[in-house]
Amino acid sequence: MTGKTETTFELTDSASGRSSQLPVRTGTIGPAALDIAALHKDLGVFTYDPGFGATAATESRITYIDGDAGVLLYRGYPIEQLAERSSFMEVAYLLLLGELPTSRQLEEFTGNIRYHTMLNETLLRFFNGFHHNAHPMAMVSAVVASMSAFYHDTMDIHNPRHREIFSHRIIAKLPTIAAAAHKHSVGQPFIYPRNDLDYAANVLHMVFAVPCEPYKLDPIASEALDLLFILHADHEQNASTSTVRLAGSTGANPYAAISAGVSALWGPAHGGANEAVLAMLEQIGSADNIPKYLAMAKDKSSHFRLMGFGHRVYKNFDPRAKIIRAMCHKVLARLGRSDNPLFELALRLEEIALKDEYFVSRKLYPNVDFYSGVIYSAIGIPRSMFTVMFAIARTVGWVAHWQEMISDPLMRIGRPRQLYTGPTRRDYLEIAKRA
């Protein structure tokens, strides 16, 4: 896959007079990219971009974000339309295969996912090795990595059929693993998946059902969770997706690559923020305390950040945050909890922060994690499982990006360079001669 090259940039080293002709690659929409592959050979220098804020690490056809305009497209379809009219299984098909499915294709895809929802019984016993208060993300990342020890039959990453079966398996089993992690942490028996339920309903069933009484599924909760899965499914080259790509670029088995993504997502600067937002809202407690916490957020020495605010790419509203905020109103009203104090506090915090020069000047807006925890809480998901819900959804994006990379004949192992600022060459000194 190579973006079109129409122009070049000439870069000249004024000291040596040497220059390099750098091709400009253009995509379908969004910024063009300067191809710097020849830079080190021509001018003996690297580019320097810690945090990769201005670096296109790859070419991709999956998701497009315009951070200034607050636009998010999955395979060209606006997230607002998919949120309004699609389902998570349909979005999964779209992200993986590039087109919206026909009803027969969707039925076949959903059937393939349902076929793989159960876990190998031996793998279920892994959970007993964890302490009861282990964080579910720790259990999920470990058990996902362990899947490579069970599913040897689909490990040839260059075999398209193996890649397809892997995709179905990991998307199908993540909810079962997630629910098992929760059941272990609350000391309840594992609940097997039910293949007569749709994807989100099965998650709720496996998390909340108990063997001694029938579980009454709440359609509002199932609908809200399906929508949250759509909104969290993919997001271009974010930290966890880039981790999956880098791990996968070594030829590591796909379960190991996805497990690496789970670990990267866990960080509070990334997917762990949804759990941190709830803790922050409870710490703030009431609207009277908002000014004190905003002052802390502005004070660099406090290390306190307004969790759920800010984004590397969005310098406008995160479109997903807008949809989730609207969802909060609807879901809370339908659950008869419109007076949800945490949601009221979140709304007030957003209102005050978005009038504050510090946040306005830095273009810090609520991101996808700011309101999602309010809904997870309202439908009964425990806080320690918020990021696990994010991981269930993002597994689709991780698999789509892994597939895109592995099936690219031009794929190479990812190996960034550095600007070295350590000691110059020096000789070993016997210990007796050291000061």
Q: How far is the CB of 273 from ligand SDX (least distance, A)?
A: 4
Q: Is residue 245 near ligand SDX by the rule CB under 6 A?
A: no
Residue 175 or 308: the one with the smaller Cβ distance to ligand SDX is 308
Q: How far is the CB of 86 from ligand SDX (least distance, A)?
A: 18
Residues 69-128 that bind ligand SDX (CB under 6 A): none
State the DSSP string of 191-256.
----TTS-HHHHHHHHHH-BTTB-----HHHHHHHHHHHHHHS--SS-HHHHHHHHHHTTT--HHH
Known catalytic residue at 311:
yes
Known catalytic residue at 49:
no
Name residue, tokens 């709304």. 347
Do 190 and 430 touch, CB atoms closer than 8 A? no
Q: Is residue 329 near ligand SDX by the rule CB under 6 A?
A: no
Could you give phi then psi for residue 74, rounded to 5 degrees? -100, 110
Residue 184 or 235: the one with the smaller Cβ distance to ligand SDX is 235
Please report, for residues 219, 233, 289, 330, the alpha-carbon distance to residue 371 in angstroms, rounded to integers and kept in the order given.
20, 16, 19, 13
Residue 83 or 306: the one with the smaller Cβ distance to ligand SDX is 306
Active-site pick, 369, 401, 408, 427: 369
Could you give phi then psi for residue 5, rounded to 5 degrees? -115, 115
Do 51 and 300 touch, CB atoms closer than 8 A? no
Compose the 268-287 pattern: x for residues touching ligand SDX by CB under 6 A, - for all others. -xxx-x--------------
Residue 267 or 382: the one with the smaller Cβ distance to ligand SDX is 267
**Exposed, middle or buried: residue 21 (CB in 10 Å: 0-12, 13-18, 19+)?**
exposed
Total residues binding ligand SDX (CB under 6 A): 22
Residue 139 or 297: the one with the smaller Cβ distance to ligand SDX is 297
Q: How far is the CB of 385 from ligand SDX (least distance, A)?
A: 17
Round to the nearest angstrom and report the end-to-end CA distance of the chain. 57
State the DSSP string of 23-57.
EEEE-SSS--EE--TTHHHHHS-----GGGTT---
3-state secondary structure of 412: coil
Do 389 and 260 touch, CB atoms closer than 8 A? no
Choose the binding region for ligand SDX from 21-29, 143-151, 265-273, 414-422 (rule: CB under 6 A).
265-273
Active-site pick, 182, 184, 235, 311: 311
Compose the 202-241 pattern: x for residues touching ligand SDX by CB under 6 A, - for all others. ---------------------------------x--x---
H helical segments located in 44-187: 79-85, 88-97, 103-115, 121-124, 136-146, 160-185
Q: How far is the CB of 202 from ligand SDX (least distance, A)?
A: 23
User: Among 204, 368, 399, 406, which residue interacts with ligand SDX (rule: CB under 6 A)?
Assistant: 368
Residue 58 or 188: the one with the smaller Cβ distance to ligand SDX is 58
Q: How far is the CB of 365 from ligand SDX (least distance, A)?
A: 10
What tokens appear for 338 in the block? 């419109």
Q: Is residue 297 near ligand SDX by the rule CB under 6 A?
A: yes
Could you give phi then psi for residue 159, rounded to 5 degrees? -100, 110
Choose the binding region for ligand SDX from 12-20, 336-344, 360-368, 402-410 (rule: CB under 6 A).
360-368
Could you give phi then psi for residue 6, rounded to 5 degrees? -115, -35
Residues 299-328 that bind ligand SDX (CB under 6 A): 305-313
Q: How far is the CB of 397 from ligand SDX (least distance, A)?
A: 8
By annotation, the residues acting in catalysis are 311, 369
Q: Please report, as ranges, the residues that interact with ligand SDX according to CB under 6 A.
A: 51, 235, 238, 269-271, 273, 297, 305-313, 362, 364, 367-369
